[in-house]
């Protein structure tokens, strides 16, 4: 599934980053829009390329978990335990920042988000940067490589289409293996707290730390303000097409009311005629549907579902139907929490209109 890059491309990426430019690169979760996290001008370019408000902090990506205390202080034991178990991997820790961390990166907060990615291309870029900059700490500021509010990219083609004219280089590593963004864990309190669910679940955190993660804070909980998480905006990760989330038992009757749609469902259609796409079989990238009723058959397994979710939402958007109808996924199942969180956000506008 991974595609490798040439030495020449690697060197070019590193040179661009050293010179304050933008490189989109694959991580195991989604593609990131990377720049030198210690260079304010480079970091500003990320915000303008994405159209992202300045108060939405960026994650810093490090080569190695051993570099944690170069960037963070007052690190609780449980954060070290999590870092040791899950880095490199799909987990971001929010910690008190060291004084040198740029306000531009943290959105002026006293905390910083840190992650060690586990993708060979992201790792190679980080390691080469470390070798070339031995005198200073190295970190890549990298949000997901999509315009603010859009679905995150899991293929280089997604980045090319959305931000192609705004980045200096896109490194194509094929499709991202995990497919949804990292689990974000606030480690600034006595107990961990999940700010954004992902494939590393509440149970995983409990197993490693012996601590039960605190409830995710809600945005309306004004007595206990949460650090800002832009993925918390209710309509984040939205396709252009109106998207609705529908209870599985109502799916068929819901679809019968419309003439033009694309469904994402784990079940085969019982209504006909529809054009079927199997999410496990790669389709060529650009589409406009030649059929009014389309059905994307999603995997039943949660890891496989997460892996292809954004790719299939991008495809569904390209089919340019009147709406995207997503069959709801299990509600109170820890393994589906990250996926359901993204589906609720993708469908938020649809549910209001
Ligand atoms: O998997 C991922 O995390 C991907 C890959 C590229 O690493 N990155 C990613 O970045 O999803 P982004 O910027 O799209 O989402 C990071 C989230 C944002 O919602 C941001 O607000 C939150 O992390 N965040 C960053 N620093 C924070 C901080 N100090 N406190 C609270 N939230 C923070
Ligand atoms: Mg994002």
Kindly list the averaged pLDDT for each block of 10 residues, start to end, along the chain of length 353: 88 98 98 98 98 93 97 98 98 98 96 98 98 95 96 96 97 97 97 96 97 72 43 68 95 93 95 87 71 95 97 93 96 94 88 56
Whether the CB of 111 sits within 6 Å of ligand 1: yes
In a 13 Å sphere around the CA of 245, the CA atoms on its Cβ side amount to 19
- What is the pLDDT at residue 232? 52
> How far is the C-alpha of 340 from the C-alpha of 216, rounded, in Å?
15
Q: What is the pLDDT of residue 233?
A: 56
Length of the chain, please? 353
Kindly report the protein residue whose alpha carbon is nearest to atom 23 of ligand 1. Answer: 229
pLDDT of residue 284: 66
The answer to whether 57 touches 228, Cβ cutoff 8 Å, is yes
Residues facing residue 170 across a β-bridge: 24
Nearest-atom index, ligand 1, CA of 109: 29
CA 107 to chain centre: 19
pLDDT at 38: 98
Q: β-strands 111-115, 91-97: how paired?
A: antiparallel
Q: 256 to each of 37, 96, 177, 236, 292, how far by Cα in Å?
A: 51, 52, 35, 28, 13
Ligand 1 site, residue 228, Cβ cutoff 6 A: yes
For the record, the structure tokens of 55 come out as 């108060």
Measured from the CB, is residue 181 less than 6 Å from ligand 1?
yes
Query: For residues 254, 255, 260 and 263, what is the CA-based torsion angle, rounded to 10 degrees?
Result: 110
Mutate to test the pocket of ligand 1, among 34, 110, 113 (most ligand atoms within 8 A of CB): 113
Strands (E), the chain: 23-26, 31-36, 59-61, 72-73, 91-97, 111-115, 140-141, 169-170, 183-186, 193-196, 243-246, 261-265, 275-278, 293-297, 323-327
Looking at all shown ligands, the one closest to residue 180's CA atom is 1
Cα 156 to Cα 172: distance, rounded to the nearest angstrom: 5
Q: Distance between CA atoms of 109 and 95, rounded to whole angstroms?
A: 11
The CB density around residue 268, as the number of other CB atoms within 10 Å, is 10
């Amino acid at each position: 599934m991974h595609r490798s890059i040439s030495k020449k491309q690697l060197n070019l990426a590193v040179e661009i980053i050293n010179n304050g430019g933008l490189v989109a690169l694959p991580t195991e979760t989604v593609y990131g829009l990377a720049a030198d996290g210690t260079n304010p001008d480079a970091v500003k370019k990320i915000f303008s390329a994405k159209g992202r408000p300045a108060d939405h902090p960026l994650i810093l990506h490090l080569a190695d978990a051993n570099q944690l205390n170069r960037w963070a202080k007052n690190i609780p034991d449980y954060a070290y335990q999590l870092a040791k178990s899950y880095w490199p991997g799909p987990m971001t820790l929010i910690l008190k920042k060291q004084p040198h961390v740029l306000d531009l990166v943290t959105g002026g907060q006293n905390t910083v988000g840190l992650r060690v990615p586990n993708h060979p291309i992201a790792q190679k870029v980080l390691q080469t940067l470390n070798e070339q900059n031995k005198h200073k700490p190295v970190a890549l500021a990298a949000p997901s490589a999509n315009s603010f509010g859009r679905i995150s990219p899991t293929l280089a083609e997604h980045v090319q289409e959305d931000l192609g004219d705004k980045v200096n280089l896109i490194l194509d590593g094929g499709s991202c293996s995990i497919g949804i963004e990292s689990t974000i864990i606030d480690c600034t309190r006595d107990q961990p707290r999940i700010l954004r669910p992902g494939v590393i679940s509440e149970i995983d955190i409990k197993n490693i730390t012996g601590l039960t993660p605190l409830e995710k804070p809600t945005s309306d909980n004004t007595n206990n303000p949460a650090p800002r998480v832009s993925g918390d905006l209710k309509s984040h990760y939205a396709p252009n097409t109106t998207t609705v989330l529908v209870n599985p038992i109502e799916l068929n009757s819901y679809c019968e009311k419309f003439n033009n749609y694309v469904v994402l469902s784990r079940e085969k259609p019982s209504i006909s005629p529809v054009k079927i796409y199997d999410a496990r079989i790669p389709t060529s990238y650009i589409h406009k549907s030649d059929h009014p009723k389309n059905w994307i058959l999603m995997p039943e397994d949660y890891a496989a579902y997460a892996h292809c979710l954004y790719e299939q939402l991008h495809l569904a958007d390209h089919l340019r139907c009147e709406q995207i109808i997503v069959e709801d996924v299990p509600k109170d199942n820890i393994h589906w929490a990250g996926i359901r969180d993204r589906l609720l956000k993708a469908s938020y506008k649809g549910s209001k209109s």
